[in-house]
């Protein structure tokens, strides 16, 4: 899915922001939100306006193992303009890989992953944290290799998680496996 997420915490709830197009707002859409390696479906009703909130009741029980809701604030507009500015990991696909990664005006880190992959779930919180810390300087994306075999094949992804670091649409660095945050920071700084 092509969307942007911004995350903040308030009490027993977590707040995200999803950017959708005007057309998606008009007809309604379904988006996938990824948190702690768990994917949640967000049903966005037709006619939604910027600033509207969709509540995922007790979703934190599923993602974090604790009570609480996920509140998703909707931002209607062009995703292309929002995606590099909003903190969070953007789910991408074979279909929008070129637009989100190859044509990005900022460096991009792409996490090739799959829902069944334990190490992928381990590195997800690290990339979510770094996406927030480096907001506006680079973009973090994730691509499910099971659903998007074309790009996984193109970049010869044999083991996951695999992080590819892109600058000006070209791969400049690679990390395979669930590595600690400290191992990623020098590679990220090298992109900037």
For 92-128, what is each residue's pLDDT tens digit?
999 999 999 999 889 999 999 999 999 999 999 999 9
- Domain architecture of the chain: domains with CATH: 7-82 (2.60.260.20), 87-191 (3.40.30.10)
Of 59, 60, 58, 55, the residue nearest 72 (C-alpha): 55
Question: Could you say which of 56, 117, 143, 160 is catalytic?
Answer: 117
Phi, psi of 190 (to 5 degrees): -65, -25
Return mean pLDDT, the chain.
84
Q: By the 8 A CB rule, do 72 and 33 touch?
A: yes
For 24-50, what is each residue's pLDDT tens digit?
888 888 887 777 767 788 888 888 888
Give the tokens for residue 96: 């929008």
The reported pLDDT for the residue numbered 161 is 95
Question: Could you say which of 18, 20, 48, 120 is catalytic?
Answer: 120
**Alpha-carbon span 84 to 135, nearest angstrom:** 8
Q: What does pTM read for this prediction? A: 0.56
141 is catalytic: no
For 57-90, what is each residue's pLDDT tens digit?
888 888 888 898 888 888 887 443 333 334 588 9
């Amino acid at each position: 899915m092509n969307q942007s997420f911004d995350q903040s915490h308030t009490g027993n709830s977590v707040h995200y922001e999803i950017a959708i197009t005007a057309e998606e707002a008009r007809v309604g859409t379904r988006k996938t939100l990824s948190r702690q390696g768990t994917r949640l479906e967000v049903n966005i009703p037709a006619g939604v306006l910027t600033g509207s909130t969709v509540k995922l009741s007790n979703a934190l029980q599923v993602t974090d193992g604790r009570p609480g809701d996920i509140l998703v604030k909707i931002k209607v507009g062009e995703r292309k303009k929002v995606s590099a500015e909003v903190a969070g990991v953007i789910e991408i696909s074979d279909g929008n890989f070129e637009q989100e990664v190859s044509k990005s005006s900022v460096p991009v880190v792409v996490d090739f992953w799959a829902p069944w992959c334990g190490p992928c779930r381990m590195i997800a919180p690290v990339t979510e944290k770094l996406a927030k810390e480096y907001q506006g300087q680079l973009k973090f994306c994730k691509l499910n290799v099971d659903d998007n075999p074309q790009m996984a094949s193109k970049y010869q992804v044999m083991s996951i998680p695999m992080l590819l670091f892109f600058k000006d649409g070209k791969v400049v660095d690679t990390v395979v496996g669930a590595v600690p945050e400290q191992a990623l920071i020098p590679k990220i700084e090298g992109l900037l």
